[in-house]
């Protein structure tokens, strides 16, 4: 059996789809479906069982876990970078991750969990995934800090030679439609273009960056899943790894590629960044994937333009999306 927490979510459901392509269907999906639309991500997937997260963690706390679990992909967490309920983030992103990590390691199963590039903060300390530097990083928000807390806990408890933490950068692609304000900007740009014919981007509040020239490491979900599955296929590779393209691109590039994929001329307006974001905004992120490459991952990355073209034309422009999935 393979367990995927957050299995109805964006990256989690894509991992389940990848397992299905390998003929693996003995999968337990753990999630909290709540009131949003992510249940729709489950419809085309094959799996053995589904359980709500609260019940799953209660059973883990009681010492229950199937003996035949080959691997656990722990993608379940609150991914809202603006979440202000710190106690909620501690419980959801830290305590629950400690619980499942302990049970999985005790069980002798493979444990692969989602960390985040948000742990790098403003990038002052760089973006190298060296484990000895974890404690020097200063996240800009509580979400990033909740992820760093577990990375540090795993390091301090000697687990990083037995488990894998993945620092996901800006992942985008199919199955993120339910994420509301946390959807990638490609979806938001696509929707703005349909509604208004143009796209609004934040102005820069740093003189070294032009408006719309703030840079991110944008990673297509298909590459993200390939990189994640590498760790299932290589159980001797452990530790913390960046999951990104190692190529920073700016928001102008992303929006122009979206216009091109839609067959339209770019029309961009720059608007002031909200005051509450200005001190917590990352102007530059770029994954150093040297460690991942040295571990043996050798597949090329999809270019931003090719990935956006695929996403827009083969997913977003399909009638099932425009009509509400």
Q: Of these residues, 143, 145, 220, 311, which one is catalytic?
A: 143
Q: How far is 211 from 264, CA to CA, in rounded Å? A: 21
Give the pLDDT score at 322: 54
Task: Reduce the secondary structure of the chain to three states and give it as a string.
Answer: CEEEECCCCHHHHHHHHHHHHCCCCCEEEEECCCCCCHHHHHCCCCCCEEEEHHHHHHHHHCCCCCCCCCEEEECCCCCCCCCCCHHHHHHHHHHHHHHHHHHHHHHCCEEEEECCHHHHCCCCCCCCCCHHHHHHCCCCCHHHHHHHHHHHHHHHCCCCCCCEEEEECEEECCCCHHHHHHCCHHHHHHHHHHHHCCEEEECCCCCCCCCCCCEECEEEHHHHHHHHHHHHHCCCCCEEEEECCCCCEEHHHHHHHHHHHCCCCCCEEEECCCHHHHCCCCCECCCCCHHHHHHCCCCCCCCHHHHHHHHHHHHHCCHHHHCCC
At 83, is the pLDDT very low, low, confident or very high (cuts 50, 70, 90)? confident
Rounded to two decimals, what is the model's pTM? 0.94
- pLDDT tens profile 117-155: 999 998 989 999 999 889 999 998 999 999 999 999 999
Mean pLDDT of the chain: 93
- pLDDT tens profile 26-47: 999 999 998 888 999 999 999 9
Token pair in block for residue 292: 């991942």
- pLDDT tens profile 177-210: 888 888 999 999 999 999 999 999 999 999 999 9
Domains and CATH numbers, the chain: 2-170+218-243 (3.40.50.720), 173-216+247-284+303-322 (3.90.25.10)
**pLDDT (average), residues 283-303:** 96
- pLDDT tens profile 247-256: 999 999 999 9
Give the pLDDT score at 325: 39
Verify whether residue 155 is a known catalytic residue. Answer: no
Q: Of these residues, 179, 183, 222, 291, which one is catalytic?
A: 179
Verify whether residue 143 is a known catalytic residue. Answer: yes
């Amino acid at each position: 059996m393979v367990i995927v927490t957050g299995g109805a979510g964006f990256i989690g459901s894509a991992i389940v789809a990848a397992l299905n392509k390998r003929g693996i269907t003995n999968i337990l999906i753990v999630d909290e479906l709540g009131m949003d639309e992510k249940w729709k991500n489950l419809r085309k997937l094959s799996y053995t069982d589904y359980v709500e997260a609260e019940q799953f963690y209660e059973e883990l706390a009681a010492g229950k876990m199937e003996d035949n679990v080959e691997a656990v992909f722990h993608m379940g967490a609150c991914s809202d970078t603006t979440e202000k309920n710190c106690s909620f983030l501690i419980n959801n992103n830290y305590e629950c991750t400690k619980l499942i990590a302990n049970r999985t390691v005790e069980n002798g199963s493979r444990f692969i969990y989602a960390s985040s590039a948000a742990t790098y903060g403003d990038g002052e300390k760089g973006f190298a995934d060296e484990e000895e530097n974890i404690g020097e990083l200063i996240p800009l928000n509580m979400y990033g800090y909740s992820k760093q807390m577990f990375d540090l806990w795993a390091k301090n408890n000697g687990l990083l030679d037995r488990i894998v933490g993945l620092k996901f950068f800006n992942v985008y692609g199919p199955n993120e439609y339910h994420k509301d304000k946390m959807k990638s900007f490609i979806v938001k740009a696509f929707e703005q273009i349909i509604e208004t014919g143009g796209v609004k981007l934040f102005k820069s509040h740093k003189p070294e960056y032009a408006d719309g020239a703030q840079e991110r490491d944008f990673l297509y979900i298909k590459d993200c899943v390939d990189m994640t599955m590498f760790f299932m296929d290589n159980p001797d590779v452990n530790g913390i790894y960046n999951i990104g393209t190692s190529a920073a691109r700016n928001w102008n590039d992303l929006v122009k590629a979206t216009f091109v994929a839609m067959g339209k001329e770019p029309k961009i307006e720059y608007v002031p960044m909200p005051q509450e974001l200005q001190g917590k905004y990352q102007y530059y992120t770029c994954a150093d994937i040297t460690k991942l490459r040295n571990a043996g991952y050798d597949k090329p990355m999809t270019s931003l333009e090719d990935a956006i073209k695929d996403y827009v034309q083969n997913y977003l422009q399909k009638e099932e999306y425009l009509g509400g999935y």
